[in-house]
């Protein structure tokens, strides 16, 4: 039986989009969701922009989610458990695929009902360090009709991915055009990037 790490990499090799169900255990995903909702209720999330700090733009016609950056310095047990998983995944990825990942960055993401993120890629024009994008979903009660699916633009087709609890999606940051479709219910995730120096 394959591990979530193997599922993620094998499906990425096959289709340029890695998908692993239960990449995050259900309890950890629920604990991280509780963290995110607590931050949201105390108004600690901030409107996300496009571009980096040098060229940032806040245009809600393009992107309308809210974010909060994760950091080990927060010394949160659940976030640290999440970072431990990412550390192990990077060791696995570097040893099996020789990707040379040297760092990462992740944030909580919350899309309120009626919000979206138009078609884009994840690499900055003035910074090429993002190698791979990862999204881990925290939506235990998501059902068809709730919206917020990830829409991936392949050369000759579209792929729509449901934001189900614990699922991870993995793709090349510089190549994969994608968008978050309008959501009808709050849509929660952890989103981030594996980086090379």
- 22-44 confidence digits (pLDDT tens): 999 999 999 999 999 999 999 99
Give the domains, in start order, of the chain with CATH numbers.
Answer: 4-48+61-195 (2.60.120.620)
Cβ neighbours around 93 below 10 Å, total: 21
Averaged pLDDT for residues 65-86: 96
Q: What is the pLDDT of residue 13?
A: 95
Question: pLDDT band at 59, cuts 50/70/90?
Answer: low
Please give the DSSP secondary-structure letter assigned to residue 140. Answer: T
Mean pLDDT of 94-107: 96
**Per-residue pLDDT reduced to its tens digit, 164-182:** 999 999 999 999 999 999 9
Q: Quote the pLDDT of residue 128.
A: 75
- Helical H runs in 74-170? 77-97
What global pTM score does this model have? 0.91
Work out the average pLDDT over 147-151: 97
124 pLDDT above the threshold of 90: no
DSSP for 109-149 reads: EEEPTT--EEEE-SS-SS---EEEEEEEE--TT--TTSB--
State the chain's mean pLDDT as an integer: 91
Weakest mean pLDDT among 6-20, 22-36, 37-51, 155-169: 37-51
pLDDT band at 142 (very low <50, low <70, confident <90, very high): very high
Residue 10 has pLDDT above 80, yes or no: yes
Residue 57 banded pLDDT, cuts 50, 70, 90? low
**Percentage of the chain lying above the pLDDT 90 cut:** 81
- Residue 51 pLDDT exceeds 80: no
What is the distance between the alpha carbons of residues 93 and 101, in angstroms, rounded to a whole number? 8
pLDDT at 62: 76
CA–CA distance, 91 with 129 (Å, rounded to integer): 18
Two tokens at 156?
């000759």
């Amino acid at each position: 039986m394959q591990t979530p790490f193997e599922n993620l990499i094998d499906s990425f090799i096959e289709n340029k989009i890695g998908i692993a169900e239960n990449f995050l255990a259900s309890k950890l995903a629920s604990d991280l969701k509780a963290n995110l909702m607590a931050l949201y209720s105390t108004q600690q999330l901030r409107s996300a922009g496009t571009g980096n700090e040098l060229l940032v733009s806040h245009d809600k016609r393009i992107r309308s989610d809210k974010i909060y950056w994760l950091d080990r310095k927060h010394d949160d047990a659940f976030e640290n458990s999440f970072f431990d998983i990412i550390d192990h995944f990077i060791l696995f990825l570097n040893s099996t695929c020789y990707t040379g990942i040297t760092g990462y960055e992740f944030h909580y993401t919350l899309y309120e009902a009626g919000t979206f993120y138009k078609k884009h890629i994840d690499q900055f024009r003035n910074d090429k360090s993002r190698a791979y994008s990862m999204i881990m979903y925290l939506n235990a009660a998501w059902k068809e009709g709730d919206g917020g699916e990830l829409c991936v633009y392949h050369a000759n087709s579209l792929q729509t991915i449901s934001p189900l609890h614990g699922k991870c999606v993995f793709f090349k940051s510089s190549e994969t055009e994608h968008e978050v479709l309008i959501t009808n219910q709050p849509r929660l995730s952890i989103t981030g990037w594996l980086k090379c120096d």
